A and B are shown apart, each in its own frame.
Chain A
Amino acid sequence: MGNLTKAFAAFGLVALIVVAVAFGARTHKSASDTLVFGSSADPVALDGALISDGESGRVVIQIFQGLVGLKPGTTTVVPMLATSWKSSPNGKSWTFTLRKNVKFTDGTPFDASAVCANFNRWYNFTGSFQNPSATYYWQTVFGGFKKYDPKSGAPKGSLYQSCKVNSAGSVTINLTAPSASFLAALSLPSFSMESPTAMNKYGANQGTVDANGVFHPTGTYSTQHPTGTGPYMLQSWVRGDKLVLVKNPNYWGPPAHIQTLIFRPIADNAARLQALQNGEIQGYDLVEPEDIPTIKSDSNLQLLSRPPFNVGIVGMNQAMKPMNNLAVRQAVAYGLDREAVVKAFYGGRGVVAKEFQPPSLFGYSNSVKQYTYNPAKSQALLKAAGFKLPVTINFWYPTGVSRPYMPDPAKNFQAFAASLSKAGFKVIPHAAPWTPDYLGAVEEGKAQVYLYGWTGDFGDPDDFDGVFFRTPQKQWGFNNPAIFNILTKARDESSLSKRIALYKQANNMLMNFLPGVPYVHTSPALAFDKNVHGYVPSPVDIQYFSSVSIG
């Protein structure tokens, strides 16, 4: 063997030893007091007021709490930092009794003045804080701000009027109009109570606006010092690497089981699954439908399902004839083979929708008129209404988009077009990129029949039925005061039992009137190590880790 060969052989041996030692040093560590969760991305910020994405909300909800919370796994509002509440007879004033002896993690007390400081902070946002991407949920629930800025894109006028400290333990929120739906919205991470002292100290409202009009926070509050009342508090955050929460030792409620909760961003779906299989993380969200069989067949893993909280709809614009004719809309409903589409394209994660709101939400009727696929009945309805078959309809579908309620819109369209052809329709396809063309055409009332859908923001039927049908909208093209009135009344009613009855009635009316045909609710999946217990998937992504344990 020559010198060179010897040298190479020696080098290769050293390399092998290094690898072997590295392998040998590997130990599987899984501590019962630490849980690592694989998130799909880093949070944007840890300041509830300035976030609207799921990954930020997932962390924020562990550190902060709102006046109200949600019963795990449901959209039922339960006490959180407020122990009880009542509204004035006109529905415009809501008085909350606050939980006693609660402190923020900086040691300052949570009381009525802290509640007002938070509400007034949100209401007084100016400049880039008024950008819809910064304060999306404030604008969705409360509308505009104290100072109207036409350049910001925020609406003029606000549902919020003022906040009054009645005593340290009681606070009243005054609204400019009656609204019961705002109560459920208060459970959102965006309306969490944050320590006014810490926000001042660490510059939560400080920043500069650059030449492009973009706001840059200069404070460290939302990255290093988020201060809430929740069961966990921030220990450290290295973007792209890990975000570490530790148990709040002075938490007012039952202490969390897990001492250290770590969020590790792993953008790639397959990588999240492999990390779970390898024990590097103990759970992750947004499981891909194709990974479900692998997880189900692995005895070390478990699969959890999130209750459906979205809806896929075939919309119909009544301003475009013949959709103004109820018989035609009924013929469309009977002509859509919804069962086949849900079975074929949703990987077992979809259920056929019967109403415009998901079943988990209060007000679901469960006794609406049903439209099971029946092409013969469609043809009969059309003929009886005096139409000559086939009836031509323009059917729109979006391209370049995948939503939970329509993973592949083109497939849904093709299947629906085929079933409608058998039901006496001639379908003319129209495809357009999702934004801005498709949504623009639909919302401007230019699409006759179209694929549409919605993912709920918070647990109130107004976020589904109300968003679609409480006011006249070009995309539906109808004017039905009975529907507008009942949905407005249901939104403003302060008694929950009356609201439930009103929404049930509204859902029955809607499915008789048929402004569109709801066809699917989908149920996203989460995967966990089999030793993880107590994680309750929420329809609206509000999951508290304090109930989770390992072992």
Chain B
Amino acid sequence: MLRFVVRRLLLLVPILFGLSILVFVWIRALPGSPAQALLGERATPQLIKEMNHQYGLDQPIYLQYWRYLEQTVQFHLGTSITTQQTVMTEIGQRFPATMQLAFAAGLFAITFGIPLGFFAAKSYGRAFDHISMAVSLLGISIPIFFLALLLKEAFAVELGWLPTVGQMSVLINIPHPTNFYLLDALLAGNMHAFWDVTQHLILPAIALGSIPLAIITRVTRAAVLDVQNEDYVRTARAKGLAPGVVDYRHVMRNALLPVTTIVGLQVGLLLSGAILTETVFAYPGIGSWLQQGIVDRNYPVIQGGILFVAVVVVFINLLVDISYGFINPRIRLSGKVG
């Protein structure tokens, strides 16, 4: 097991190195530059030249990359061009909100995705199956920003039930020792704030969770359909076991294995989807922060932010792999052989 973990950790080095080059080159391939974004219509060629010099952007690209790499390995992700705060400081302020949102979206997707998929499989070919498949198809195909607009129009503007922007009402003040607002509200013992933060989470979580929900529903349905035709399920039924017991002990337990893997893979999707969701909901997480960075061509923020998110995704996938190694010994064996 240790060998497996060490091998996976070593693999991270080339992955992260490749990732850093990719992010670095991609950002410089974007049209526009920080100077143009900051100077607007006053961006004369002379001013642009001067600003590029100021920020070292007129140096050969390999030198720029080398300096970036040098600083990155020392955990210096640079300083935001607009706010002059270090990128690490800003990530520390923004990331908890994104984690909270991603967690809520994941919870929504799992809570509703697995039962939907299960019942769809159980009523295979009937109306409920068709409806749930149609809903999951919509979930995948509707762009997040559009779904967000629809949800806000219905539940906020028309019905007035839920808020449309932010993480908490501006009139509520609580201390933020952790920057996880739900936790902060509980720590402050302020249940009103807790409900307020929960309300602010509902619509963004549904919008962000819609794609994972659809995927989980479909995978669960397929897995349940597969498993319930297996010999051991037929045998269990033939033994006269109650249908609920068969479903719980034999069908779901086995069907949930592929679902677990899929859930692990959704983390990347949730974090990338957060950019759109947070922007549309003005949710102060890492996604809206990155979006503003892209608008401003704030290279350190985009570079540092994307690298940070990528590292988080890579590490979470590593954790999923390792946990899978525990669940399924064959994975470990293949690691040993390979």
A105 CB to closest chain B CB (Å) equals: 20
Contacts of B199 in A (CB 8 A): 22-23, 25-26
Given A266-B165, A439-B43: A4 touches B248 (CB 8 Å cut-off): yes
A8 CB to closest chain B CB (Å) equals: 4
Contacts of A31 in B (CB 8 A): 171
Contacts of B42 in A (CB 8 A): 136
A34 within 8 A of B: yes
Distance, CA A363 to CA B294, complexed state (A): 41
Distance, CA A151 to CA B52, complexed state (A): 12
Distance, CA A151 to CA B56, complexed state (A): 12
**B84/A26 in contact, CB under 8 A:** no
Given A212-B55, A403-B41: A22 touches B157 (CB 8 Å cut-off): no
B242 within 8 A of A: yes
Which residues from 19 to 40 on chain A have a C-beta closer than 8 Å to any C-beta of chain B?
19, 21-23, 25-26, 28-29, 31, 34, 36, 38
B243 within 8 A of A: yes
Distance, CA A4 to CA B111, complexed state (A): 14
Given A26-B199, A132-B47, A151-B53: A267 touches B31 (CB 8 Å cut-off): no
Indicate which residue in B83, B157, B170 contacts A277 across the interface (CB closer than 8 Å). B157
A436 within 8 A of B: yes
B251 CB to closest chain A CB (Å) equals: 8
**B51/A36 in contact, CB under 8 A:** no
B129 within 8 A of A: no
**B292/A267 in contact, CB under 8 A:** yes
Q: Which of B42, B79, B170 has the most CB of A within 10 A?
A: B170
Contacts of B198 in A (CB 8 A): 18, 22
Task: Kindly specify which of A160-168, A213-221, A336-344, A519-527 makes contact with the partner chain.
Answer: A213-221
Helix, strand, loop or mixed for chain A's interface?
mixed
Given A31-B171, A241-B284, A277-B157: A2 touches B243 (CB 8 Å cut-off): yes
Distance, CA A242 to CA B31, complexed state (A): 31
Distance, CA A455 to CA B195, complexed state (A): 45
**B50/A8 in contact, CB under 8 A:** no
Contacts of A28 in B (CB 8 A): 160
B82 within 8 A of A: yes
B327 CB to closest chain A CB (Å) equals: 21
Task: Kindly specify which of A268-276, A413-421, A503-511 makes contact with the partner chain.
Answer: A268-276
Contacts of A241 in B (CB 8 A): 166-168, 170, 284
Which single residue of chain B is at the shortest CB-CB distance from A279? B160
**A214/B45 in contact, CB under 8 A:** no
**A267/B291 in contact, CB under 8 A:** yes
**B45/A440 in contact, CB under 8 A:** yes
**A15/B111 in contact, CB under 8 A:** yes
Contacts of B291 in A (CB 8 A): 267
Distance, CA A14 to CA B54, complexed state (A): 57
Indicate which residue in B41, B156, B170, B244 contacts A455 across the interface (CB closer than 8 Å). B41
Which single residue of chain A is at the shortest CB-CB distance from B284? A240
**A271/B161 in contact, CB under 8 A:** no
Interface string of A267-309 (1 = CB under 8 A from B): 1101100110111110000000000000000000000000000
Contacts of B165 in A (CB 8 A): 38, 264, 266, 271, 274-275, 280-281
Contacts of B160 in A (CB 8 A): 26, 28, 278-279
Indicate which residue in B35, B44, B67, B192 contacts A439 across the interface (CB closer than 8 Å). B44
A524 CB to closest chain B CB (Å) equals: 15
A507 CB to closest chain B CB (Å) equals: 22
Which single residue of chain A is at the shortest CB-CB distance from B97? A240
Taking residues whose C-beta sits less than 8 angstroms from the other chain, chain B's interface range is 35 or more
Distance, CA A214 to CA B284, complexed state (A): 26
**A25/B115 in contact, CB under 8 A:** no
**A435/B164 in contact, CB under 8 A:** no
Helix, strand, loop or mixed for chain B's interface?
helix
Distance, CA A25 to CA B191, complexed state (A): 11
Contacts of B31 in A (CB 8 A): 400, 433
A41 within 8 A of B: yes
**B84/A274 in contact, CB under 8 A:** no
**B171/A34 in contact, CB under 8 A:** yes
**A133/B51 in contact, CB under 8 A:** yes
Indicate which residue in A1, A278, A436 contacts B157 across the interface (CB closer than 8 Å). A278
B254 within 8 A of A: no
A455 CB to closest chain B CB (Å) equals: 7
Which single residue of chain A is at the shortest CB-CB distance from B282? A266
Distance, CA A25 to CA B162, complexed state (A): 10
Count, chain A residues at interface, CB 8 A: 77
B210 within 8 A of A: no
Which single residue of chain B is at the shortest CB-CB distance from A437? B45
B91 within 8 A of A: no
**B149/A264 in contact, CB under 8 A:** no
**B164/A271 in contact, CB under 8 A:** yes
**B280/A132 in contact, CB under 8 A:** no
Distance, CA A268 to CA B165, complexed state (A): 10
A172 within 8 A of B: no
B93 within 8 A of A: yes
Which residues from 150 to 177 on chain B have a C-beta closer than 8 Å to any C-beta of chain A?
152-153, 156-157, 160-171, 173, 176
**B54/A11 in contact, CB under 8 A:** no
A454 CB to closest chain B CB (Å) equals: 7
Which residues from 227 to 277 on chain A have a C-beta closer than 8 Å to any C-beta of chain B?
236, 238-242, 244, 262, 264-268, 270-271, 274-275, 277
**A268/B169 in contact, CB under 8 A:** no
Which single residue of chain A is at the shortest CB-CB distance from B57? A212
Given A241-B167, A267-B288, A280-B164: A153 touches B47 (CB 8 Å cut-off): yes
Given A26-B161, A133-B38, A275-B282: A240 touches B51 (CB 8 Å cut-off): no
B281 within 8 A of A: yes
**B170/A22 in contact, CB under 8 A:** no
Contacts of A132 in B (CB 8 A): 39, 47, 50-51
A428 within 8 A of B: no
**A212/B56 in contact, CB under 8 A:** yes
B5 within 8 A of A: no
Distance, CA A439 to CA B171, complexed state (A): 46
**A23/B54 in contact, CB under 8 A:** no
Distance, CA A73 to CA B156, complexed state (A): 34
Distance, CA A200 to CA B167, complexed state (A): 35
Which single residue of chain B is at the shortest CB-CB distance from A218? B84
**A2/B282 in contact, CB under 8 A:** no
B217 within 8 A of A: no
Distance, CA A19 to CA B153, complexed state (A): 18
A348 within 8 A of B: no
Contacts of A136 in B (CB 8 A): 42
Contacts of B43 in A (CB 8 A): 435-436, 439
Distance, CA A21 to CA B192, complexed state (A): 12
Distance, CA A231 to CA B247, complexed state (A): 68
**B248/A29 in contact, CB under 8 A:** no
Excluding A133-B38, A212-B55, A439-B43, 9 further A-B contacts by CB distance (< 8 Å) are: A18-B198, A132-B51, A153-B47, A240-B94, A264-B170, A270-B280, A278-B164, A435-B43, A439-B41
- A–B pairs, 20, beta carbons within 8 Å: A11-B111, A22-B202, A23-B161, A36-B170, A44-B82, A44-B83, A128-B54, A131-B50, A131-B51, A132-B39, A153-B50, A239-B90, A239-B284, A244-B170, A267-B295, A278-B152, A280-B169, A433-B31, A436-B45, A439-B44
By a beta-carbon cutoff of 8 Å, the part of chain A in contact with chain B is 1-8, 11-12, 15, 18-19, 21-23, 25-26, 28-29, 31, 34, 36, 38, 41-42, 44-45, 128, 131-133, 136, 151-153, 210-217, 236, 238-242, 244, 262, 264-268, 270-271, 274-275, 277-281, 400, 403, 433, 435-436, 439-440, 443, 453-455
